[in-house]
C-alpha cells in the first residue's frame, strides 16, 4: 500500500493508492536548515490551491488517526519541540532567527550569527583527532566490451532537479533545457555517424532509450552522459542494479552501453527489455 504526499502528480504518485495534496514552500510557514547549518524561517506568500493542505497538518492528522495524541497548533510549536530534544538547536527560536536565520550551534543567537566553522581545534571523536580510513579500489561491476563499448555516466543538469516534477513545469528552465540528450565526444560522434541535434538509441543489457545527441568536448572518448530528469528517455532504465558492498550506494554512475544513430523521423522514447 503506497501513500504519496506531494504537490504534483509525480511518477511515483501515479503508482500510489492514496495521494495526499501537500503545499509548496511559498504556501506555508516553517523553518529550513541548510547544509551549512543555517536555520531560516519560511513565510507564507500564497494560499495553497484547491484541496492542498499544510504538510505538518497532514502528518498530524495521520498521527491522530493512528491513535497518537498530537495537538500542535502551528509549525512554531513543532519547532519548539525540536529545539527541546536537539542539543544542536539549543537557544534557537522563531523570535531570534531573524530575516537571514542563524547558524547552529549558537550559544547566543540574540547577539551572534552562530558558529561559522566547526572543529577548529579538535574533531568530535574520543581523541579529538580526525580518523582517516583507507579504502581498497574496486572496479565497476560492468565494464565496456565489444558489444557495449561505451561507459554511461548519469547525472543532473543545472536547470533541472531529480525527475523535474517542479523544474520542468518552469517555463524559463524548461525553455533552456527542454529535452533529453546524450552527450558524446566529437570523435566518437563522427565514428558512429551521429550528428548534433539528431537522434540516437542508447542501449544497455537492461533496456534502450531514444534521445537527441549533443556533441560535446566535456566527455572523454568512450564515455557518454545522460541526465536523469526526463521520463520520456529515462536514463535509469539503462543503469545497473549493483550497489557498493559497504555504503550500499547504487552504481548509477557507471555501466556499459552502445550508441546507434536512428532515423530523424523517430521520436524520443523508451524501450524496456523483458
Q: Is the CATH code 2.40.40.20 the one for domain 150-272?
A: yes
- The reported pLDDT for the residue numbered 266 is 60
- The reported pLDDT for the residue numbered 56 is 95
Cell numbers linked to 208: 534502450
- The reported pLDDT for the residue numbered 274 is 39
- The reported pLDDT for the residue numbered 137 is 87
Q: What are phi and psi of 64, to 5 degrees?
A: -60, -40
The helix/strand/coil state of 106 is: coil
- Measured between alpha carbons, how far is 36 from 204 in angstroms, rounded to an integer? 39
- The reported pLDDT for the residue numbered 270 is 55
- The reported pLDDT for the residue numbered 246 is 82
Report the CATH fold assignment for 3-103. Rossmann fold (3.40.50)
- Whether 227 and 154 have beta carbons less than 8 Å apart is answered as yes
- The reported pLDDT for the residue numbered 267 is 62
Q: What are phi and psi of 221, to 5 degrees?
A: -60, 140
Cell numbers linked to 252: 548509477
- From the CB of residue 177, how many other CB atoms can be counted at a distance below 10 Å? 18
Could you say which DSSP state residue 230 is in? -
Task: Examine residue 105 and say whether the peptide bond preceding it is cis (omega within 30 degrees of 0).
Answer: yes
Q: What's this model's pTM, rounded to 2 decimal places?
A: 0.83
Express each pLDDT in 149-202 by its tens digit: 999 999 999 999 988 999 999 999 999 999 999 999 999 999 999 999 999 999
Sequential pLDDT tens for the chain (274 residues): 999 999 999 999 999 999 999 999 999 999 999 999 999 999 999 999 999 999 999 999 999 999 999 999 999 999 999 999 999 999 999 999 999 999 999 999 999 999 999 999 999 999 999 999 898 888 899 999 999 999 999 999 999 998 899 999 999 999 999 999 999 999 999 999 999 999 999 999 999 999 999 999 999 999 999 999 999 999 999 999 999 888 899 999 999 999 999 987 666 565 555 3
Domain ranges of the chain: 3-103, 150-272
- Whether 236 and 243 have beta carbons less than 8 Å apart is answered as no
Instruction: Please report, to the nearest 10 degrees, the dihedral formed by the alpha carbons of residues 122, 123, 126, 130 taken in order.
Output: -110
- Whether 40 and 31 have beta carbons less than 8 Å apart is answered as yes
Cell numbers linked to 219: 566527455
Using DSSP, how many helices (H) and how many strands (E) does the chain show? 4, 12
Nearest CA to 185 out of 160, 236, 157, 150 is that of 150
Amino acid at each position: 500500500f503506497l501513500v504519496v504526499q506531494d504537490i504534483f502528480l509525480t511518477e511515483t504518485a501515479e503508482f500510489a493508492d492514496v495521494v495526499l495534496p501537500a503545499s509548496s514552500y511559498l504556501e506555508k510557514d516553517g523553518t529550513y536548515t541548510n547544509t551549512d547549518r543555517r536555520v531560516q524561517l519560511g513565510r507564507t506568500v500564497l494560499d495553497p490551491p484547491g484541496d492542498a493542505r499544510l504538510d505538518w497538518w497532514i502528518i498530524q492528522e495521520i498521527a491522530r488517526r493512528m491513535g497518537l495524541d498530537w495537538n500542535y497548533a502551528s509549525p512554531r510549536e513543532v519547532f519548539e519541540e525540536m529545539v527541546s530534544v536537539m542539543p544542536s538547536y539549543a537557544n534557537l527560536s522563531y523570535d531570534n532567527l531573524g530575516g537571514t536565520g542563524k547558524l547552529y550551534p549558537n550559544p547566543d543567537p540574540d547577539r551572534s550569527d552562530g558558529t561559522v566553522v566547526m572543529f577548529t581545534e579538535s574533531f568530535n571523536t574520543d581523541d579529538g583527532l580526525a580518523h582517516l580510513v583507507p579504502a581498497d579500489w574496486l572496479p565497476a561491476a560492468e565494464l565496456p566490451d565489444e558489444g557495449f563499448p561505451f561507459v554511461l555516466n548519469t547525472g543532473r543538469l543545472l536547470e533541472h532537479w531529480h525527475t523535474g516534477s517542479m523544474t520542468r513545469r518552469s517555463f524559463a528552465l524548461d525553455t533552456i533545457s527542454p529535452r533529453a540528450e546524450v552527450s558524446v565526444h566529437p570523435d566518437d560522434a563522427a565514428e558512429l555517424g551521429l550528428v548534433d541535434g539528431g537522434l540516437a538509441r542508447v542501449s544497455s543489457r537492461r533496456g534502450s532509450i531514444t534521445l537527441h545527441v549533443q556533441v560535446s568536448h566535456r566527455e572523454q572518448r568512450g564515455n557518454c552522459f545522460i541526465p536523469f530528469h526526463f521520463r520520456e528517455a529515462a536514463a535509469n532504465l539503462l543503469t545497473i542494479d549493483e550497489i557498493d558492498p559497504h555504503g550500499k550506494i547504487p552504481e548509477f554512475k557507471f555501466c556499459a552501453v552502445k550508441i546507434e544513430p536512428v532515423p530523424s523521423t523517430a521520436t524520443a522514447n523508451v524501450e524496456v527489455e523483458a
